[in-house]
Copies of this chain bind each other. A is one copy, B any other.
Amino acid sequence: MWVYEKKLEYPAKICTTNPKLAKVVITQYGGPDGELAASLRYLTQRYSMPTPQTKALLTDIGTEELAHMEIVATLVFNLVKDASIEQIKAAGLDGYYADHDKALYFVNGDGVPWTAAYIQSKGDPITDLHEDMAAEQKARSTYEYLIQLSDDPGVTETLRWLRQREIVHYQRFGEALEHLYDHYSKDRYYFMDGKNE
């Protein structure tokens, strides 16, 4: 179970109201490679992990991604909350506004709702960890694109921090993969490079 702590893992300060930026940042809330996707992927895969360390790793990172999801939501909320109707329209956010006003909803930057088809839980821990390393890369890339699109220094600073955490997660998953290769005593390792299949 989880206990809520009423603090953001990192600040989500913005400089100016900017619904056009919010419209794209939201993809790390409800998009294919965002924090919701990451959290659910790890929290659902953890049941298949064969060692206490890997179970704990996926639970911990999955839980941290919830905190990241919260930071992204707060960025979006802050960027939109004081926007006028004219600003909303000029930002191309009127389609979203008609359905949600200024509320948070799980979509990407084009309004496509989140689907579990974005993630996978395969049962084979080697496979799952490859999926996880790829997921962290995809999140890193998305943050890089958002940083390019961002014209708000406050938002950029938070995006950079979030991107950095993806890099750390990627490394943790890489170490876990090595740990699992040892756990399976090299059988699995050689099997995937064809030498003793």
Residues in chain A within 8 A of chain B (CB atoms)? 1-5, 7-9, 20, 23-25, 27, 30-33, 36, 40, 44-45, 47-48, 59-60, 63-64, 66-67, 70, 73-74, 77, 85, 88-89, 92, 94-124, 126-128, 130-131, 133-134, 137-138, 140-142, 144-146, 148-149, 164, 167-168, 170-171, 174, 191-194, 197
Contact = CB atoms under 8 A, between A and B. Distances in A.
A115 B116 contact: yes
A124 B105 contact: no
Given A8-B1, A102-B123, A106-B40, A114 B112 contact: no
A107 B36 CA distance: 16
A126 B110 CA distance: 25
